[in-house]
C-alpha cells in the first residue's frame, strides 16, 4: 500500500512535470515528445493502480498519437526547432488565472467531497480483462458500437476536410 502510494506520487509528479515542459519549451518536437512522456507517465501510474490493460493501452496509443503530432507540428510551424525563441502565447494572464482556478476548483471538489472508504483489493488482471470484455460485449455494447461509428464518421470527415480542393492545387501550380 505504501509502495503503491509512492509510485503513484512519483509517476504523477513526472506526468505534471512533463506537461509543464510541453508549454515551456520552444522546440516543437521537444514539446510533442514531452507530451508523450507525460502521457506515458500517466500510463505507468495506471499500472501502479493495478489497471494493467489500461496502462499498457495508454502507453501504446500515446506513442503513435504524439509522434504524429510531432510531424504535424514540424509541418505547420514556422520555427519548429525553436531556435528563434519566438513567443507564441497570448492572453497570458487570463489563461494563467483560468488554469489556476480550474485546478483549484477540481482540487477542492476532490478533497472536500466525501468519497467513502476506498476498496482495498481489486480483481486480478486476468479477471479484469474478462470483466471488461464481457462489459463491452454485453452492457456497454451499444456505447462501444457508437464509438466505432463515430471513429468511422470522424475518419471520413477528416479526410474530406483535408483533401485538396481543385482551386487550392491550381493556386499552388501558379506559384511555381
Residues 53-112 that bind another protein (CB under 8 A): 53-54, 56-61, 63-65, 67-78, 81, 83, 88-92, 94-96, 98-100, 102-104, 106-107, 110-111
Give buried/exposed letters for 74-83 (b at 16+ CB in 10 A, else e).
eeeeeebebe
Under the criterion CB under 8 A, does residue 44 sit at the interface with another protein? no
Residues 133-162 that bind another protein (CB under 8 A): 134-136, 139-140, 143-144, 147, 150-151, 154-155, 157-162
Residues 3-32 that bind another protein (CB under 8 A): 4-5, 8-9, 12-13, 15-16, 19-20, 22-23, 27-32
Give which of 54, 36, 30 is closest to 125, Cα–Cα. 54
Residue with Cβ nearer another protein (83 or 176)? 83
Q: What is the DSSP annotation of 69-80?
A: HHHHHHHH-S-T
Of 85, 126, 173, 174, the residue at the interface with another protein (CB under 8 A) is 126
Give buried/exposed letters for 104-128 (b at 16+ CB in 10 A, else e).
eeeeeeeeeeeeeeeeeeeeeeeeb
Amino acid at each position: 500500500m505504501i509502495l503503491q502510494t509512492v509510485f503513484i506520487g512519483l509517476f504523477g509528479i513526472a506526468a505534471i512535470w512533463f506537461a509543464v515542459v510541453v508549454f515551456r519549451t520552444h522546440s516543437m518536437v521537444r514539446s510533442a515528445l514531452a507530451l508523450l512522456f507525460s502521457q506515458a507517465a500517466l500510463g505507468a501510474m495506471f499500472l501502479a493502480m493495478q489497471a494493467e490493460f489500461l496502462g499498457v493501452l495508454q502507453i501504446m496509443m500515446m506513442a503513435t498519437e504524439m509522434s504524429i503530432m510531432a510531424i504535424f507540428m514540424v509541418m505547420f510551424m514556422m520555427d519548429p526547432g525553436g531556435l528563434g525563441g519566438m513567443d507564441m502565447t497570448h492572453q497570458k494572464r487570463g489563461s494563467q488565472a483560468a488554469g489556476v482556478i480550474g485546478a483549484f476548483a477540481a482540487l477542492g471538489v476532490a478533497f472536500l467531497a466525501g468519497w467513502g472508504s476506498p476498496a482495498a483489493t481489486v480483481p486480478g488482471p486476468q479477471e479484469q480483462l474478462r470483466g471488461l470484455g464481457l462489459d463491452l460485449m454485453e452492457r456497454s455494447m451499444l456505447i462501444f458500437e457508437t464509438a466505432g461509428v463515430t471513429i468511422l464518421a470522424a475518419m471520413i470527415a477528416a479526410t474530406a476536410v483535408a483533401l485538396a480542393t481543385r482551386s487550392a492545387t491550381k493556386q499552388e501550380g501558379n506559384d511555381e
